[in-house]
Amino acid sequence: MGSWEDHVYSSDYKPYPRFHGSGPLFLGMELEINTPDRDTQLCQLCEDRLGGLAYLKEDGSITVGFELVTHPMSLAWAQDNFPWTLLDELAARGCHTTDDVGLHIHVSREAFDGRSHVFRWMKFIYRNAAEVQQLARRCDSSWAQFSPDERAGIKDICKGDHNRPRYSAINVQNDDTFELRMFASSIKPQEVQAALAFADASVRYAHQLTLRAIVRNDGWSWDAFLAWAAERPEYDALLRECEVLACAC
């Protein structure tokens, strides 16, 4: 079975991505998990269940544990093929999450139809910061800030400015992806599924968002977004999670 180091790569490990499902909208998940100890059986369990879909890395925010990093997936592929029962198995073996660990989702830049699409997407997320943070179960995090400066800088970002703070709600420093950093980590399947669904839905919602919808139907609003998502069964996990959430930021 080997040592812990044989299973958990260093934090700078970055293999060539293997894409799963149909693009161009791919999602890559980074799930930070605390473990009871450096138990190689937990690592072996992950490897057996994941079958090459993901790998384990060290992360500075985790005292004892690992970051589970998937290769890029379409939402439909992830819903059907990610081993969701693995999260329950990890919980049963004492794995857990705390306020210090997060769930990050990388969204492929190629999924965006030009600068205006990026602008609408980022503007929608920053305009609905309170609702997004409630969904993310993480309010006012220093690791994923919804700062006025970042909201004001969206136009510059759309023009190619990648030199922005990494610890923003949307990290734009990567060449190939945008990174949604606002989600608290979780090993509850519905919470993780809802985060992936939001990443996918927000991009697609922003793509079809027209000036007419904004002016006449309050298209920037969270309620308009949820109404749109409710008509699409692929976002059921997102809708279910929104229904059960009781916390408010």
3-state secondary structure 212-240: HHHHHHCCCCHHHHHHHHHCCHHHHHHHH
Domain boundary assignment for the chain: 1-249
Separation between Cα atoms, residue 137 and residue 99, nearest integer Å: 10
pTM > 0.85: yes
Query: In whole angstroms, how far apart are CA 170 and each of 90, 151, 154, 211?
Result: 28, 10, 10, 24
Amino acid 249: pLDDT? 44
> pLDDT value at position 141?
82
Q: How high is the pLDDT of residue 1?
A: 67
What's the pLDDT score for residue 248?
Answer: 39
Calculate ∠ Cα 99-175-192, nearest 5°.
35
Q: How far is residue 237 CA from its own chain's centroid?
A: 14
Q: Crossing angle of helices 222-230/189-208, nearest 10°?
A: 100
Q: Which residues pair with 32 in a beta bridge?
A: 67
Contact 185, 31 (CB under 8 A): yes
User: Hey, what CATH topology would domain 1-249 get?
Assistant: Creatine Kinase; Chain A, domain 2 (3.30.590)
What is the full per-residue pLDDT of the chain (249 aa) written as tens digits? 688 888 999 999 999 999 999 999 999 999 999 999 999 999 999 999 999 999 999 998 898 999 999 999 999 999 999 999 999 999 999 999 998 899 999 999 999 999 999 999 999 999 999 999 999 998 878 888 898 888 877 888 887 777 787 889 999 999 999 999 999 999 999 999 999 999 999 999 999 998 888 888 899 999 999 999 999 999 999 999 999 885 434
